[in-house]
Amino acid sequence: MPLLMFDVLEGRSEAETKTMLDAAHRAVLTAFKVPERDRYQIVHENKPYQMVIQDTGLGIERTEKIVVLRVFTSPRSAEQKALFLTELCRELHDACDIAPSDVMVSFINNDRSDWSFGNGVAQYLTGEL
């Protein structure tokens, strides 16, 4: 049930974007052990002047392949988050040639009562999920 929201610089092809989303989904499956069709991903393309992503003094070099990812999810353990970060960077590097230094992630926690998958119903609260 994680919702992944990607911010990237405009210019990726449809195939490149699909490959990136597939790679990220594999990381979700590995780290969070969710069902295959538990896939919610949104990509926002931005002009270069709309994204300022520095390094908090860590000396991290960024390129035009930068990916900023917000992961909206029910609480996950520190181990699950660490595994997700590792798998995400590996998958994006292997499938898309995106360097780990170009991957920035923020987790936004919520609980199951915060989700509706449609029809104006909170399915976790009704027992449908």
| 44: containing domain | 2-125
Residue 100's identity, in one-letter code, is P
CATH of the domain at 8: 3.30.429.10
Domain total for the chain?
1
Task: Write down the pTM of the prediction.
Answer: 0.94
Question: Which helix H or strand E contains 73, and what residues bound it?
Answer: strand 67-73
Residues 38-90: pLDDT tens digits?
999 999 999 999 999 999 999 999 999 999 999 999 999 999 999 999 999 99
**Tens digit of each residue's pLDDT (9 = 90 or more) over 86-108:** 999 999 999 999 999 999 999 99
Catalytic residues: 2
The mean per-residue pLDDT over the stretch 5-11 comes to: 98
Q: How far apart are CA 28 and CA 80, in angstroms?
A: 10
* Whole-number pLDDT of residue 1: 81
Q: What is the pLDDT of residue 62?
A: 96
* Residues paired with 8 in a beta bridge: 45, 67
